[in-house]
Structure formats: C-alpha cells, structure tokens
Chain A
Amino acid sequence: MIRPSRVGAIARFELVNVVKRPTFLLATFGLPIFLAVVGGVLGLVQSSFLQRQLDEIAVCGIVDEAGLLADDDIWSDIDALEPDERAAAEPIADGPLLVLRSVVFRRFDTEEEGEAALRDDHLPGGLFVIAEDYIETGTVAVFTQAGGPVISARHSAVEPTLARLLRDRLLRVSTDAEVSADVRKRVLDPLEIERTILTSAGAHRGERERTAELVLRMGIPFLLGIFLLTALLFSSGYLVQTVAVDKESKIIEVMLSSADPNEILLGKLLGLGAAGLIQLLVWGAMALFGVGGVVAYISTMQVAFPWEAIMVAPLFFALGYLFIGSLMIATGSLGSSVAESQKLTIGWAILAVTPLMVLLILLEEPHGPLGRVFSVIPFTAPLTLMVRLSVDPDGVALSELALAVASLILATWVAIRIGARLFRVGLLLGGSRPSWREIAKQAKLLD
C-alpha cells in the first residue's frame, strides 16, 4: 500500500531540490524576462507601426447599389478636403468624396470602375460594394488587392466607420416613413461582410477570415502540442537527471530500503510535476500579459476561439504528464548513463505528440475513425481531444471525454505499477544496462 507521508516526503524533497537550482530559476524567470525584453522592444516597434497606420488616412472606394448614399449633399469635391486628406485622395480626385473619421470614401458608379481603381492601387483601404438588397441582407462586398496583409489595423478602422455611415443613412431614410423590420435589423447589424481578394487569376472570397480561423484552429492545438512536448521534454530532463543522480550516488539503495518503489516513483513524479507546473504557471502568467492584446484583437474578428480545448488542456496535460512521466522514469532508470536514459525516454514524448503528425487528417475529419480511436489511446488522447475540441467542440461527446479520462487514469495506474518494478530493477542492476530477460525476471514480469 502506498503511504502518502512517504510520497509527500519524496515529492517535497524533489520539488525543493529542483526549484532551488539556479538553472530552474533561470529557466523559469530569466527566460520569460529575456523574452519579455525582446518582446517589449518588438512590441514597441509594432505598436508604433500600427499607430502610424491608424493615423494614416485610409482611402477606399464605395459602390452604392442600394441607393442609400445617393444624396449628393453628403459628397463633396477635393477642394473641400483638408490638405492631408486631399493629398491622400489625389489619385482619385475626379469624383465625389466623403471624409469620415480619417477615412476618405470615393464613390464609383459601377463596380467595374471601382475595381479598376483598386487594381491601379488607388484604393489601399479596399472597395466596398453595398449590395442592391442591402436593407434585407446587409451584404457589403469588400474587395481588396491580392498580397494585402492578413490582419491590418487600417482595415479594422474602415469597417466601423462605414457601419456608422450606413447606420446614419438608414435612420435618415426612415425618418419620414414607418421603420420597417428590415431597417431596424440593419441599424442594429449594419454589415454582413463578404470578402473577396482580387488576384490576377480572379477573385477568392473571404480569405482573411478564413485564414484567421485556420490559423487559430490549426495553431491552438499545434501550440498546445508544442506546449505539451516542451513540458514533457523538460520533465523528462528533470526525471532522468534525478534518476541518474540517485543511481550514481547509490542513495537509491537507502531510498529503496525505506520506501516502496511505487512511493518513490509517485513522489518523484508529483514533486517534479509540481516543479514543472510552477514553471508553466509562471510562463503562462507572463504570456497572458504578452498575448492579451492579440486575443482581444482576434476576438473582434468574429472567429470562434477554441475555449473548450483550452479549458480541458490542464486536466489532460496533468494526466498525460503522469502517464508519460511514469513511463519515462521507469525506462530512464534502465539506462546506464544520462545520455542513454534520455534516448530511452524520448520515445514516449514522441508517442504523445503523434496526433500532430496526423494533424491534417484530424483537422479534416476531427470526429472520424482516427480521431475517435486516438481519443481513447492514453498516449494520444490528450492532444487528439484538444485538436477535436479546437475544430468542432460540439462533435465531442461528454462520454468521450469521460472515457479518455478513465483510460488515462487506468493507464497511469498500470504504468506506475509496472514502472515501479522496472525502476527498482533498473536502479539496482546499475553499471551496465541489464538484459531484457533479466529486467522482466527481476520485475517479476516473468515467472
């Protein structure tokens, strides 16, 4: 029977021992501070760039097929503009212009005229075509030049300005008549954007949103996978190191005469796991400051953020760590040197990130046979479920999550039991690596 006091004593010792190491403190605090300094400098450069972009006057074209902007009173010619606005609108000065909050709109009578101006690079803010059935559908087609940025501060400033303009026009049109349900709806939700990128080959719809969503839905599980792999590699480093020290110093004999191998293995796992957790928490907290702005920006883009995957990540990380970690300790102890132990343990970490190797299949068919099978295999369950929850959270049944948790807990229990036996053998038959037959015999895996 495992005695919690012994497990606690070992875990505490391992935790304090690791946490006190200068390398740990350097990795935990020094690395983020270094990254923060580098990131801060880059951030300053970026924010000043973005600010400059926002301060720039955006010039865009507008084609009003709905007749909402037909009133000539709102349009003016170039002479009525401020000097900086005039300079920006110079190439398209031969038509009606409207300036609103640093955005210059140039009206075109037809889409073809607008597209020609866009192709001539006269409309860096894009071409907005208000559809004929705008009041019913809210459709506004946005054309941008191919090769434009995926995320642009200038684009972000134009759309709210256009929304204000359209809302204002809708309310003016409605003052004399009864306000229809469609108009009320449009006032509340003035833009249903359909994006099109103009290329030499033709037009592609909605590239920007699709790209952002693809980046998120592929990026989050990918990042989580990298995070898990990093955590496992860090832990494997610590685990192998502690086992190597125990083995080399022979203190393991004293430990084995005092505590059960299960207790030692569990104590080490928990202690070093806690050290890893502290490291991840510090990194996570620091990262939150760094990426908070990015998350806020992404959330304005109306793409679904994979919260479900992020919510379950800690649970699956913890279970995955305990499972893989116990296998790592066991096999690591069989190595005759730190280098050999590292080689023996690395395989487990690679198994854990197998889902990344088949990421395309999982993204294409998150709930297909591969996704479902990988979700119950303890090695692959943590990452597979994160991918599936990122892509389509509604397709993952609660029972599947419960099954994955149960399979991981069961596998961890088995891994600790077998791991503890191999651990004892590996540590005692030190010097050279024992034969597999001897390992099996000593571990009582064979009679």
Chain B
Amino acid sequence: MAILRFTDITKRYGDFEALRGVSLEVEEGEVFGLLGPNGAGKTSLIRIGLDILRPDDGEVALFGEPMSRDALDRVGYLPEERGLYKKTRVLDVLVYLGRLKGLTRPDAKARAAHWLERVGLGDAGRKRLEALSKGMSQKVQIAGTLLADPPLAILDEPFSGLDPVNVELVKELILERRKAGRTTVLSTHLMHQIEALCDRVAVIHQGRRVVYGDIDTVRRERSRPAVFVRTRGELPELEGVHAVHPRDGGFELLLAEGIDPPDVLEALIASKVRVERFEEILVTMEQVFLQVARGEGTWSDQERLKEAGE
C-alpha cells in the first residue's frame, strides 16, 4: 500500500513554479530516498506532504486517505533547518513534541526518557538545550521525531552535524524502523547513505520528477553497459565488446548495445582464461545525482546525441 502518494502536484510561488506535476508513491515499510539539488523543490514537496503547504494543483493521500490531522499524527518530521527552544530543558521539549503528536503526558515522559537513553543522552534530560552541542541537539531532535513511533517518518538531512559514530547510530535507527515495518522518507545529499539505506528513490530537479524507482534499476538505467574484468593471463578477444580500457590492474570493457554482462562472463569462461574478478560497472547514486544536477541525460541519451552529431 502507498503510505504517501503525490499525484500531479504543482506548486507556484508567484511566477516561480517550484513543482511541476510531480507524482510519486512511498510504499509501506520501505526507506525511500528523496533527492535533488538545492532549490529543486524537495522541501516544498515534503511540506505539501505534511499539509504545511497547500499545492496549487494535484492531490496528496496519506495512509491511503485524503490528508487529515489524524493521519498527520502518525507522521514524524525532522525538518532540514531545525532548532529547538534553547532555554527549555531537553525532557520538557521532548514531552511537548510527544504531546503534540497526541501522546498522554505520562506516556510522552516515559518515551522521552527511553529515547534519550536510545540516542545516548540519558543524562541530558534536565539540561537546557543551549547547553548541548550541535550534534547532541540534533540527536534530541531525532529522538523527538521518532518518539511517538510514527508509522511514517520524514527525515530531511538527518546526518548533518553528526560525527561518524552518530551517523551509524542514525543509520541503525532507520534500519530498525524498516525491520519493524515502519516507513521512512529520507532526504540527504550523502549519496552513499542513500545507496546503503534506500529501497527506492526519486530525484527532483527544477520542480520535476526526473528519476524514480528501485535504486538498482535507477543505477542500471543510468549506466552505459560495461564490466570490470581482471584475469590471470592475457584478456582474450571477446565478441560484443565495444572498447577495452586498462584500469586498476584490470580492464573496463564497454559493451555493445544488446550485450549483457552474463554473455561476456560466459565467453570468458569458454575461453578458459582464469577470471579473478568480474563485476558489472554501474554508476553510483552520486553520479546519477550529478548527471541530473548538470542536466545531463542518461548514457543512452548521450550516445544518441553523439550519433546524431549534436
């Protein structure tokens, strides 16, 4: 079931069109990556998904139903630009955030204490927020977002300001949520985290959804057909290989159109050469992101353009 569904969302600020007919679905239990360059329209889309902003056109469904306050009670949100009441004690802020999500006061208190322990701030409850470091405040905010154990959590740049240990902690929390069947929408510029955590992604660029789907499929679609091969002995001549480039003690083989990597592997085995390493070369999410940000098309688009002499 789609936990969050955007259908044909358009949002304008004056003459500027921030979102242009964006549609996407976030499925139950997955970690969904929402990516895009700065100013692409991600935050607007997230705000529309939380009923903070209203779209000019299009519809939003939350938990399979039209937007409602009750549905929003089941969503946790960590905004990109964040801060808390500096003069207030950590525990009081967490209890307040829990109460805003409909928890009773005793329940909110108990959960706040539990979550502070969980993020390694068990002894910070009585401290004022201004006494905490940036990273600690960040963890308090993450605790506040997940306090009510929301079926859907939208985390905008949850890793910013965290050291590698705490990045691991947050990753752990996200993976725990997936294990428990909870849905997470993750927006970050750390592409390796997207690759490590997300099941599916959408990339928004200039208000449009330009990439959308399963993360492997996205990478494959954006990669030119190529494999990396390292053999003991000389690399035999292989049919369907367009070009061979030596690299890292092996060879990068560019495949002709219609040739799949398993065909190449089969040919290598048939040639009796000893294969030490064989892997399909796929673009990273970072490369996908850069392609999008630079306005470059997919590999096949570029090839087609080249062939057309443009």
A selection of 6 A-B contacts at a CB cut-off of 8 Å is A6-B102, A250-B83, A254-B144, A257-B52, A258-B101, A442-B53
9 extra A-B contacts, CB within 8 A, seeds A250-B79, A442-B54: A10-B100, A16-B92, A248-B83, A249-B83, A249-B86, A255-B100, A257-B72, A258-B101, A444-B54
Closest Cβ of chain B to A82, distance in Å, is: 69
Give CA–CA (A254, B84) in the complex, Å.
10
- Give the contacting residue for B69; candidates A3, A9, A21, A437; CB below 8 A: A3
A399 CB within 8 Å of chain B? no
B9 CB within 8 Å of chain A? no
A13 CB within 8 Å of chain B? yes
A245 CB within 8 Å of chain B? yes
Chain B stretch 59-96: residues in CB contact (< 8 A) with chain A: 69, 72-73, 75, 77, 79, 81-88, 92, 96
Residue picked from A13, A245, A248, A435, most chain B C-beta under 10 Å: A13
A55 CB within 8 Å of chain B? no
Residue picked from B73, B84, B100, most chain A C-beta under 10 Å: B100
Which residues on B sit within 8 Å (CB–CB) of A442?
Answer: 53-54
Interface magnitude class on chain A: 20 to 34
Q: Which residue of B lies closest to A6 (CB)?
A: B100
Closest Cβ of chain A to B155, distance in Å, is: 12
Chain A stretch 320-363: residues in CB contact (< 8 A) with chain B: none
B81 near A250 with CB under 8 A, answer yes
B87 near A254 with CB under 8 A, answer no
Closest CB pairs A-B (n = 4): A249-B83, A9-B99, A258-B100, A257-B50
A438 near B14 with CB under 8 A, answer yes
A251 CB within 8 Å of chain B? yes
B303 CB within 8 Å of chain A? no
B85 near A251 with CB under 8 A, answer yes
Give CA–CA (A13, B100) in the complex, Å.
10
B97 CB within 8 Å of chain A? yes
A432 CB within 8 Å of chain B? no
Which residues on B sit within 8 Å (CB–CB) of A444?
Answer: 54
How many residues of chain B have a CB within 8 Å of chain A? 31
A253 near B52 with CB under 8 A, answer yes
A260 near B83 with CB under 8 A, answer no
Which residues on B sit within 8 Å (CB–CB) of A76?
Answer: none
Closest Cβ of chain A to B45, distance in Å, is: 14
B81 near A256 with CB under 8 A, answer no
Give CA–CA (A13, B79) in the complex, Å.
21
Which residues on A sit within 8 Å (CB–CB) of B51?
Answer: 256-257
B52 near A251 with CB under 8 A, answer no
A424 CB within 8 Å of chain B? yes
Q: Quick one: given A5-B102, A438-B13, are A258 and B73 in contact (CB under 8 Å)?
A: yes
Closest Cβ of chain B to A194, distance in Å, is: 64
Give CA–CA (A17, B96) in the complex, Å.
11
- Give the contacting residue for B47; candidates A245, A253, A255, A438; CB below 8 A: A253
Q: Mark A405-447, 1 if CB is under 8 A from B, else 0.
A: 0000000000000000000100010000001011000101000
A259 CB within 8 Å of chain B? yes
Closest Cβ of chain A to B219, distance in Å, is: 32
Which residues on B sit within 8 Å (CB–CB) of A428?
Answer: 47, 52-53
A254 near B77 with CB under 8 A, answer yes
A17 near B85 with CB under 8 A, answer yes
Closest Cβ of chain A to B156, distance in Å, is: 9
B100 near A9 with CB under 8 A, answer yes
B79 near A258 with CB under 8 A, answer no
Give CA–CA (A255, B72) in the complex, Å.
11
Closest Cβ of chain A to B77, distance in Å, is: 4
B69 near A250 with CB under 8 A, answer no
Q: Mark A229-267, 1 if CB is under 8 A from B, else 0.
A: 000000000000000010011110111111110000000
Q: Which residue of A lies closest to B89 (CB)?
A: A20
Q: Which residue of B lies closest to A245 (CB)?
A: B85
Which residues on A sit within 8 Å (CB–CB) of B73?
Answer: 258
B72 near A424 with CB under 8 A, answer no
Q: Which residue of A lies closest to B129 (CB)?
A: A249
B82 near A9 with CB under 8 A, answer no
Which residues on A sit within 8 Å (CB–CB) of B87?
Answer: 17, 21
Closest Cβ of chain B to A439, distance in Å, is: 12
Give CA–CA (A283, B148) in the complex, Å.
41
Q: Quick one: given A249-B85, A250-B79, A251-B84, are A256 and B100 in contact (CB under 8 Å)?
A: no
